[in-house]
Structure 1
Amino acid sequence: MTFLFDIGKVILDFHFEPSLAKLLPPGTENGPERLSVLLEKKDDFEGGRISLAEYVPWAIERLGSAVSDEDFVHAWRNIFTPNLAMWRVIESLAAGGHRLILFSNTNGIHCPWIFENYEIFRHFPEAVLSYEAGSIKPEPEIYHHAIATYGLKPQETRYIDDLPANIETGRTLGFRSWQYDLNDHAAFERWLAAEMMHG
């Protein structure tokens, strides 16, 4: 079987704000507002519409902080924790010879860094990453890109993502989709068991 896996809130949990908040100057009163401005442009960054060289200086300027590019990149990366329950599933699927493909909105700060620092990604020789594809989920373009690049048959492809809008596009295009909830991994396991039985 072929599986499309989202990364954030599926393979890795993440929390942007606590890590980025450490970059704000001490005593910053409008910290949450400054951080939300950064995340507003994240879609453009992840969609490949803003380059890494453009985004980092812009973001540091918006923070109003004297941090270095290196400090910013470190904070931007230091947001992840492994979802070990899903890691065990991935290990099992890989051992069973299933085809595993990453399908993620991400950026040039997180990639290839996460692939080098989290061993689970060795099971994903193929990937569709938004900043390389030039579009982001839930835009249909990135799904069509995945289908064309990897010769996918949506009705035979299992797609796991945490965001309702992404799942909705997946279902519209015929993927066998599951909206994953980090707080209810057992529900995913039940869905997966049923999918494996029906082939």
Structure 2
Amino acid sequence: MKTYLFDIGNVLLAFDFTPALTSLLGPDSKPNAFLDIIERKDAFESGQVEVDDYVQWASKLLDFHGTVEEFKHAWRHIFTPILGTWELAEKLKADGHRLILYSNTNAIHAIHCLETYSVFEHFDHAVFSHEIGAIKPHPEFFLRSFEKFNIDPALSYYIDDLPENIEAGRSHGLNSHLYSADRHHELLEWVTTH
């Protein structure tokens, strides 16, 4: 049995924040609101900022005067399934391998994804940055996840779309593949040959 570690963003689900944030814009939004919100996303995704605090702060930047639930609704609807990796995850699970979600994410997106997308039913565990208190590519993300889920890097196969995360994975001994949806065949070849 092997362990496969799947990133979510741009591996299992494509995402685009722009339409969601645009839908929340008010007439007096700050000029750099989008940039500021994305820049602070790392603190949010590492669990350093609580959901309500982040929503209130972002709402002020956007000049959004709706409810917290309306903000969350827009924030959640940024994803599009990448069906090729869904099929691969289903096959790997059927073949008896252990699957773990391995993602920088936040409390709004994590719950939404688990409840909404059927592919997540195939996963045995989830390493979410906001729960583990660190984001990729920081070493703490990898080391804490290895300990918590008894991950043996030599027997684990990590799929991510960001070069810096793949480099960090390799430095921690993980068999790692840089994924791009337009080169999906390369992932299938990698899985077959490793």
Global fold match (TM > 0.5): yes
CA distance in 1, matches of 2:19, 2:34: 10
Structure 2 residue matching 1:128: 3-state secondary structure? strand
Change in Cα spacing, 1:72 to 1:89, as seen in structure 2 (3 Å) is same
Shift of 1:65: 2.1
Structure 2 residue matching 1:167: 3-state secondary structure? helix
CA distance in 2, matches of 1:67, 1:41: 21
1:125-164 → structure 2 map (5 Å cutoff) = 125-164=124-163
CA distance in 2, matches of 1:170, 1:65: 38
CA distance in 2, matches of 1:101, 1:189: 18
State the number of aligned residues: 193
Corresponding position of 1:24:
25
Q: Output one character per residue of 1:100-119: Cα deviation in whole Å (capped at 9) or x when no partner.
A: 01110000111211101001
2:30/2:61 contact within 8 Å kept: no
Change in Cα spacing, 1:134 to 1:27, as seen in structure 2 (3 Å) is closer
Structure 1 length normalisation: TM-score? 0.93
1:186-197 → structure 2 map (5 Å cutoff) = 186-195=185-194
Corresponding position of 2:74:
75
Q: Which amino acid aligns with 2:174?
A: F
Shift of 1:187: 1.1
CA distance in 2, matches of 1:114, 1:133: 18
Structure 2 length normalisation: TM-score? 0.96
Task: State the percentage of identical aligned residues.
Answer: 44
Q: Output one character per residue of 1:78-132: Cα deviation in whole Å (capped at 9) or x when no partner.
A: 0000000110101100111100011100001112111010011011121110000
CA distance in 2, matches of 1:151, 1:66: 45
Shift of 1:26: 5.2
Structure 2 residue matching 1:177: 3-state secondary structure? strand
2:13/2:79 contact within 8 Å kept: yes
2:6/2:101 contact within 8 Å kept: yes
1:27-176 → structure 2 map (5 Å cutoff) = 30=31, 33-176=32-175
2:134/2:141 contact within 8 Å kept: yes
Q: Which runs of 5+ in 2 are unaligned?
A: none
Q: Output one character per residue of 1:177-198: Cα deviation in whole Å (capped at 9) or x when no partner.
A: 0010121111111111111xxx
Q: Which runs of 5+ in 1 are unaligned?
A: none
2:52/2:68 contact within 8 Å kept: no
CA distance in 1, matches of 2:190, 2:109: 30
